[in-house]
Amino acid sequence: MPDLPSKTAPVTAGPRPAASPPPTARTTETSAGKTEAPRVAVASLVGTTIEYYDFAVYGTASALVLGPAFFPSGNATVSSLAAFLTFAAAFLSRPLGVVLFGTIGDRLGRRRALVASLLLMGVATVGVGLLPTYETAGLLAPVLLVTLRLLQGVSMGGEWGGAVLLAAEHAPPGRRALYASIPQAGPSLGFLLSTAVILPTLNIVGRDGFVDWAWRIPFLLSTVLVVVGLWVRTTVSESPVFDATANRTTQPQPAPAPGPAPAPGPASAIASAPATASRFPLVTLLKRYPGRVLLGTGAAIGGSAVYYLTIVYSISYGPKELGIPQNTMLTAASVGAAAGIAITLPVAKLSDRIGRRPVMLAGAVGCVVWAVPMYASLSSRDGLVITGAYTVGLMFLALMFSPVAAFLPELFPARLRYTGASAAFILANTLGGGFAPLVATWLNSHWESPLVLGFYTGTLCLLSLLCLLALPETRDQEFDI
């Protein structure tokens, strides 16, 4: 497996052209980072929050109403499975988003990819809010729902990688994880925002009113959020790292110095990295860094399972199978998500000081140990017990997911970084998160105990722990190659 890109001594070359050399990512970073980086990080956060708000609204709606509205059946489990299968369909289309937006982001720029992905998500989400139900349109209704879900998935495939890259590549030296972690709070903020819309709507119109018509409100409100997000994203500058590498590829390159070829090692690994934008970044990525993609996917897979089983599946499972009030489950998940957000920046700052792996390993160990107690708390049916267990679990999740926003991009060179980071994270989300509600529903149809959720999640978190042990520390990797 190739070594990570690292700083090397300059190669001796003949006379340079009279023109000044193009700016490097480091010089651009130093001059622009102090003024631009905070604004870019906030813009990235706004975008990820909106995208995950849209996704969380669908996840909550699928748990509450979309099954009977679009997949009517005499069996409640079958309806729920159909709704969650539609939820999983969006994850199946995420790899297409990685290919599409990764190519745009690595060839044309991070910002262009992010604007396009946000616009696509907005159109798809508002479309769901306008759909006719099965009662009105018959089979056309679920077909249209699945189509819009696939478009949402394509959008999400390009969102995460671009958002964290734009923030990380603008970050001042030594603060990369801190800035990259800001958009990483978007998933939890998006869930909180969706809950802030759904809970009052439920309380005002009642469950019957929500099931009948008011479920559309959270989807339609996405229009306002997307307009704000597009305005914010179009006002920030392109990544200085992307600009520097793009400029470098258009400048005449000096001839190599005569003499023997360098010995194999980190320098030759850097030399083998693509100097120009690959026409098909994903193909180049899989040829050069297959081990990094697989291990990066494994490193994030356990956290994805924790997030989606807590935020999506348990909100449906608790009320339907255990008789826990809906508001209790939403409140427990919301408090836990807020606690995770509260420690996201301090955790990222710590990883900038001591490294990514120690922090992420601590989170993985915590998730392995806490997975069974966290979901076992559902058996108590006590709101305070469940809230406390979820809070601890989602804080362990923050230890894993706050540094990963810098860790995954640092595994790949600049011209493959959008595609590489997106591929690893999206595969982890698809395998560990997208299918988690389906797997959990099937497990609970055979073993009627929330303990199976803990064993399932703990196994995936153990896989993440092993992958993290196999990967190197990346804190000191430069971003200018």
CATH number for the domain formed by residue range(s) 36-241+281-470: 1.20.1250.20
CA distance 167 to 158: 15
| 125, 57 Cβ separation under 8 angstroms | yes
| 363, 396 Cβ separation under 8 angstroms | yes
Distances (CA, A) of 191 to 186, 198, 233, 311: 8, 10, 21, 8
Query: What's this model's pTM, rounded to 2 decimal places?
Result: 0.77
Instruction: Using CA atoms of 259, 263, 268, 269 in order, give the dihedral in degrees to the nearest 10.
Output: 180
User: For position 31, what pLDDT does the model report?
Assistant: 45
pLDDT tens readout for residues 15-48 = 444 444 444 444 444 444 456 788 888 888 888 8
What the block records as the tokens of 268 is 């030759």
HSE-up (13 A, CA, CB side) for residue 35? 5
Residue 99 has pLDDT above 70, yes or no: yes
User: For position 186, what pLDDT does the model report?
Assistant: 87
User: For position 77, what pLDDT does the model report?
Assistant: 62
What the block records as the tokens of 387 is 């809230």
User: For position 18, what pLDDT does the model report?
Assistant: 43
Q: Which segment, 192-196, 391-395, 411-415, is predicted with the most confidence on average?
A: 391-395
CB count in 10 Å sphere of residue 216: 18
User: For position 256, what pLDDT does the model report?
Assistant: 45
CA distance 270 to 285: 14
Residue 359 has pLDDT above 80, yes or no: yes
| 242, 169 Cβ separation under 8 angstroms | yes
Mean pLDDT of all residues belonging to the chain: 82
User: For position 267, what pLDDT does the model report?
Assistant: 31
User: For position 228, what pLDDT does the model report?
Assistant: 86
pLDDT tens readout for residues 204-254 = 998 888 888 999 999 999 888 888 888 888 888 888 878 777 665 545 444
Mean pLDDT for the stretch of residues 180-207: 88
Mean pLDDT for the stretch of residues 262-266: 38
> What SS3 class is residue 252?
coil
CA distance 323 to 72: 22
Task: Count Cβ neighbours within 10 Å for each residue of 361-374 and write b for 16 or more, e otherwise.
Answer: bebbbbbbebbbeb
Residue 159 has pLDDT above 50, yes or no: yes
- In one letter, which amino acid is 171? A
Residue 273 has pLDDT above 70, yes or no: no
- Which stretches within 108-221 are classed as H helix? 110-129, 134-137, 140-170, 176-184, 186-209, 216-220
| 155, 96 Cβ separation under 8 angstroms | no
Report the percentage of the chain scoring pLDDT > 70.
83
Closest CA to 180 of 408, 473, 399: 408
Mean pLDDT for the stretch of residues 369-385: 94
HSE-up (13 A, CA, CB side) for residue 329? 26
| 131, 67 Cβ separation under 8 angstroms | no
